[in-house]
Amino acid sequence: MARKTGSHSEITGPRIRAEASRLFARHGFAAVSMRQIAAAVGVQAGALYLYTPDKEALLFDLLKTHMEELLAAWHTEPKGAEPLEALERFVRFHIGFNLMRSEAVFLSYMELRNLSEANFAVIEGLRRAYETELEEILKAGQAAGALSVPDTKLATMAIIAMLTGVNTWYREGGRLSRDTVETIYWDMVRKAVGA
């Protein structure tokens, strides 16, 4: 048999990406075979090559899409007028978005080393662009006297690491609601860099 009824590329393409993301996040890129991905989608391995030139390109596509969506989502977020408000928005946005996309976030941190040098540079560039968004907030806050940040680069890295860390322990339906977590983290960040 070939081509089951109702099966189209607009369906199979996204499903391949979804299953690949799930499997890569769970077991790691190198530990997941094209045959496993195909089986999860319900096709033969060969069919995957209608949607991706090779395995690495599939990973790259997932990472690139994620980073671009992260940046796009941040840019549509309403900006805070004052430095402290801008920082709070960033903190809440980062925690919220990352919890919504935990699989892709995990991938973006863990599987960079499986990329070719050129592809790595692309993802790295997108990540740096995102980090710069936070650093600009900190710089502006420092300049306005609303924040006390001895080294904005370090503070940027520290805050992002701290916020992203939520993904390692947060479970939906756990002890704390997402909003409570955001509030507690915002409280710590505010105190850490507040004037």
Partner DNA sequence: TTGAAGAGTGAACGTGCGTTCAGTTACCCT
Partner DNA sequence: AGGGTAACTGAACGCACGTTCACTCTTCAA
Task: Candidates 31, 100, 143, 144: give the one binding its own copies (CB under 8 A).
Answer: 31
Q: Is the alpha carbon torsion for 100, 71, 21, 102 positive or negative?
A: negative
Positive or negative: CA dihedral 182, 187, 192, 193: positive
Q: Which is nearer to its own copies, 5 or 169 (CB)?
A: 169
In whole angstroms, what is the distance from residue 37 CA to residue 159 CA? 35
Pick one of 45, 100, 129, 188: the residue that binds DNA (CB under 7 A). Answer: 45
- Helices 178-193/83-100 angle, 10° precision: 140
For tokens 């939906």, the residue is 172
The interface region with DNA, picked from 30-38, 62-70, 109-117, 137-145 by CB under 7 A, is 30-38
Report the nearest approach of DNA to the CB of residue 116 (Å). Answer: 11
| Three-state secondary structure call for residue 44 | coil
Question: Which residues are CB-neighbours of 181 under 8 A, at least 6 positions away?
Answer: 95, 166, 170
Decide: is 150 part of the binding site for DNA (CB under 7 A).
no
CA distance 38 to 157: 38
One character per residue 48-77, x = contact with DNA (rule: CB under 7 A)? xxx--xxxx---------------------
Task: Say which entry of DNA, its own copies, none residue 47 contacts (CB below 5 to 8 A, set by partner kind).
Answer: DNA
**Is 5 an interacting residue with respect to DNA (CB under 7 A)?**
yes
Q: Which of 9, 26, 49, 129 binds its own copies (CB under 8 A)?
A: 26
- Say which entry of DNA, its own copies, none residue 12 contacts (CB below 5 to 8 A, set by partner kind): DNA
Residues 6 or more apart whose Cβ sits within 8 Å of residue 128: none
Distance from C-alpha of 195 to C-alpha of 175, rounded to nearest angstrom: 32
Distance from C-alpha of 140 to C-alpha of 83, rounded to nearest angstrom: 7
Least distance to its own copies, CB of residue 167, Å = 9
By the rule CB under 8 A, 192 interacts with its own copies: yes
> Which positions touch DNA (CB under 7 A)?
1-12, 32-36, 38, 42-50, 53-56
> Which positions touch its own copies (CB under 8 A)?
26-31, 110, 113-114, 150-151, 154-155, 157-162, 164-166, 168-169, 176, 181, 184-185, 187-189, 191-194
